[in-house]
Chain A
Amino acid sequence: MNGACGVDLAPAEEVLQRYPAEEASLIQVLQDVHRAYNYLPCDVLTRVAETLHVPLAKVFSVGTFYKAFSLSPQGRTIVKVCTGTACHIRGAVQLLDELCRQLNVEPGGTTADMGFTVKTVNCVGACAMAPVLIVGETYHGNATAAKVGKYLRASGGKADAN
């Protein structure tokens, strides 16, 4: 499915032990599993389905419905561009375009070297410093397109994939 079969299931087992084996736990389990693997590997989803006694189709339907989940491996550093309304009218589009241009990816995509994944988020609630760019855990407020390279370099990753 995503070529990830054969992953270590131990972290998933550890997560599953913490929750009651019922459908109501599904989202919480997937969130913790996602945190452990940085995505949802197919083997793990099968294991989750078995343990929680939920059909695999339902697990996939939840896994694809919510934005927090990714079914493919993500880059080492996640770069998020807030595209909330306040950021939009203060130039989030320019920021995103420039970021994608420099990393040579589409929004949602991951660089070939697995260094960065570019994501858009609807609103991080930091509207007062719009537009906001988040590299890993670092928030850059009043971000400008001209400084995108600087933000990426500050994260220690490769700044320019071109």
Chain B
Amino acid sequence: MRIESFAAFEGYVEDARARFAARQSEVLVCCGTGCLANGAAAVAEAFAAALEGAPAQVKTFTKRTGCHGFCERGPLVVLRPAGVLYTKVKPRDVAEIVDKTIQGGTVIPRLLYKEPVSGQRIQHYQEVPFYKHQTRVAMRRIGLIDPTDIDDAIAHGAYRGLVKALTMTPEAVLAEVAASGLRGRGGAGFPTARKWRSCRSAKGERKFILCNGDEGDPGAFKDRSIMEGDPHSVLEGMIIGGWAVGAHEGIIYVRDEYPLAVVNLTLAIAQARDRGLLGSNILGTGFDFDIRISRGGGAFVCGESSALMRSLEGKVGEPRAKYVHATDRGLYDLPTVLNNVETWADVGAILEHGGAWFAAMGTEKSKGTKAFSLVGKVKNTGLIELPMGTTLRQIIYDIGGGVIGDRPFKAVQTGGPSGGCVPEALLDLPVDYEKLTEAGSMMGSGGMIVMDDRTCMVDVARYFLKFLTEESCGKCVPCREGLHQMLVIFDDLVAGRGKGGDIERIERLSRGMQLGSLCELGKSAPNPVLSTLRYFREEYVAHVERRECPAGICRDLTTYEIMPQTCDGCHACFKACPVAAITGKVKELHVIHQDKCISCGACYDACPTQAIRFLPKHEMAARGVA
């Protein structure tokens, strides 16, 4: 059904709202990737089946929503309107939930989230610390709506920003976005309104609006969750962008590894066209704008703007020099605006609530909220959105619940392969674009990877070098050869073949790459190396001079042994060892056979009594054991 005017849209919203308000209660089953992997689909089916046969007075609808964020505790189920959150729900729990909570109105304590410090069970999802500290803008509807139903999105406020934008002049829309202070959420932080304005004033009839959904940073999945959980927020932002810059064509470039995002976006586009919110003569205003999807080919460099545009043209995704901006000559050499998924998702909310509302959140230069994926060695992993300026300590300890096993915190890695590691001394750093850059890292696409004392910083730097060596497109020499040579040195460091002067060589190569590389991939590639050198130089020195890995991660430098006085013979290490290098009977002393041991550390991590210790290989060799 096409909506032909603003007035008709208001009526449509009222209808949709009334329809959803008539639902007395809803079961929201998180069907994000994490929960699905843990069996959420079976839980949703069990609810649908159980509720079909329920008496009419308990009219409850099952809804499969996008990612609720609290992936650690999935599958997650939220019961509305009560707001009860059940975690780790299994299909066999469903009958009990329907019986006791939906029909009986009592909660099931066993399924509630247990606060790890106090041991208290928390009933309402908004009281769970993981959710309590969050402010959601880009992710405002994720988890509340069924992403495959446009009416659900509309009942929850989708396209209100668009309606408002279309009643304004493009100039006024630009002014509103400028007032919000919105900056690119892909990580570089370029002011969105300035980019739009350049494109608007660029010469040419045909212009493009692009959405960068090629979320390639390992450890980041916020864009995936937005595209999967609330695709309409992306479409709405792009249509508003089209109106503001005078473009009529939009393309969403989605990463090849995100098939569900493609499915949900495709459906959302079809539904939006059907309602007259996309396509020709949007809402009867005479404005035409349409969107199509393009799937990426699995190349990290295609997240870079000029490479992405080459890829859209069907070419190899190689970046080009940026002396001409994409806003003048981008896709097919025509004026183009490219923004990140999260940026587009923010735009609708900014138009709906006003730029001043958005600018009231955040820090002096970084306004609004930012989505992060909080992962690694942290208790509550998942997806979060917070006002800019929240400190790392608040994120990792208040929301994340601290380090797994209460081990010592070592560093947090932000910004993916272009970012760096921020050490414990900077835990009180307010997170915004400037502060992270000052600390030698960057915002990037919002991955925050928490690392504990069992993380080797040389290994982490080598990991990113290896990643980038594979992903460098090979067009310019500083990046292609610089990465390769750095990796050769790092391979030596972790294998105990480090030489005097290696650290200085690494620093020299880094400077060369920063100065000489063509695109940001190469220019920022030394960041993980330089930031770990800046804060953890001692670890590099230990690898080079003493052939030791202080974290006990680099296998060629580390061996493990069981301490006889602490081992209680629980057999956990025996089970964890992948190569059967451990022998011992239950309740008896276990022994690691050094000739078979591959130094993987699985036993160390599995031992509940800390009876296993690691030591440098040369120490063991000196004892004559190895």
**Chain B 378-407: CB-based contact to A (< 8 A → 1; otherwise 0):** 000110000000000000000000000000
CA distance A26 to B310 in the complex (A): 12
A146 adjacent to B447 (CB under 8 Å): no
A43 within 8 A of B: no
Q: Which residues of B contact A87 (CB under 8 A)?
A: 218
A86 adjacent to B38 (CB under 8 Å): no
Nearest opposing residue in chain A for B413, CB measure? A85
CA distance A26 to B312 in the complex (A): 10
A98 adjacent to B219 (CB under 8 Å): no
How extensive is the interface on chain A, given as a class? 35 or more
B187 to chain A, nearest CB (A): 15
Interface SS, A side: helix
- Given the known interface contacts A27-B311, A31-B295, A62-B315, the answer about A128 and B413 at a Cβ–Cβ threshold of 8 Å is no
A129 adjacent to B34 (CB under 8 Å): yes
A85 adjacent to B314 (CB under 8 Å): no
Which residues from 23 to 49 on chain A have a C-beta closer than 8 Å to any C-beta of chain B? 23-28, 30-31
CA distance A63 to B373 in the complex (A): 32
B504 to chain A, nearest CB (A): 27
A62 adjacent to B316 (CB under 8 Å): yes
A88 adjacent to B463 (CB under 8 Å): yes
CA distance A54 to B316 in the complex (A): 13
- Given the known interface contacts A31-B256, A125-B33, the answer about A94 and B216 at a Cβ–Cβ threshold of 8 Å is no
**Chain B 8-28: CB-based contact to A (< 8 A → 1; otherwise 0):** 000000000000000000000
A24 adjacent to B312 (CB under 8 Å): yes
Identify B218's interface contact among A22, A23, A25, A83, CB under 8 A: A83
Q: Which residues of A contact B413 (CB under 8 A)?
A: 85
A7 within 8 A of B: no
Q: Which of A58, A61, A122, A145 has the most chain B CB atoms inside 10 A of its CB?
A: A122
B455 adjacent to A69 (CB under 8 Å): no
Identify A128's interface contact among B71, B314, B600, CB under 8 A: B71
Interface-side segment among B350-358, B571-579, B615-623 = B571-579
B235 within 8 A of A: no
B482 to chain A, nearest CB (A): 20
B302 to chain A, nearest CB (A): 8
B315 adjacent to A146 (CB under 8 Å): no
B299 within 8 A of A: yes
B314 adjacent to A86 (CB under 8 Å): no
How extensive is the interface on chain B, given as a class? 35 or more
A95 to chain B, nearest CB (A): 9
Q: Which residues of B contact A65 (CB under 8 A)?
A: 297, 299, 316-317, 473
B38 adjacent to A85 (CB under 8 Å): no
B218 adjacent to A28 (CB under 8 Å): no
A144 within 8 A of B: yes
Q: Which residues of B contact A125 (CB under 8 A)?
A: 33, 215, 220-221, 224, 257-258
B342 to chain A, nearest CB (A): 14
Tally of A-B residue pairs with Cβ under 8 A? 162
Nearest opposing residue in chain B for A98, CB measure? B578
B221 adjacent to A126 (CB under 8 Å): yes
A12 within 8 A of B: no
- Given the known interface contacts A85-B376, A122-B218, A145-B602, the answer about A66 and B463 at a Cβ–Cβ threshold of 8 Å is no
Which residues from 423 to 463 on chain B have a C-beta closer than 8 Å to any C-beta of chain A? 447, 449, 451, 455, 460, 463
Nearest opposing residue in chain A for B460, CB measure? A89
CA distance A123 to B222 in the complex (A): 12
A124 within 8 A of B: yes
A150 within 8 A of B: no
B257 adjacent to A86 (CB under 8 Å): no
A25 to chain B, nearest CB (A): 6
B37 within 8 A of A: yes
Nearest opposing residue in chain B for A84, CB measure? B218
B539 within 8 A of A: no
CA distance A56 to B296 in the complex (A): 21
A67 within 8 A of B: yes
CA distance A65 to B299 in the complex (A): 8
**Chain B 352-381: CB-based contact to A (< 8 A → 1; otherwise 0):** 000000000000000000000101110001
Q: Which residues of A contact B471 (CB under 8 A)?
A: 122
Nearest opposing residue in chain A for B69, CB measure? A128
CA distance A97 to B312 in the complex (A): 36
A23 adjacent to B315 (CB under 8 Å): yes
CA distance A95 to B38 in the complex (A): 19
24 A–B contacts from the bound complex (CB under 8 Å): A24-B312, A27-B311, A30-B297, A31-B256, A65-B299, A67-B298, A85-B463, A86-B219, A88-B218, A89-B460, A91-B602, A124-B257, A125-B257, A125-B258, A126-B33, A127-B449, A128-B74, A128-B373, A129-B34, A130-B375, A130-B376, A145-B578, A145-B602, A146-B602
Knowing that A67-B256, A85-B376 touch, tell me 16 more A-B residue pairs with CB under 8 angstroms.
A23-B315, A24-B313, A68-B296, A85-B219, A85-B375, A86-B219, A87-B218, A123-B220, A123-B221, A125-B220, A127-B219, A127-B221, A127-B376, A129-B38, A129-B71, A146-B602
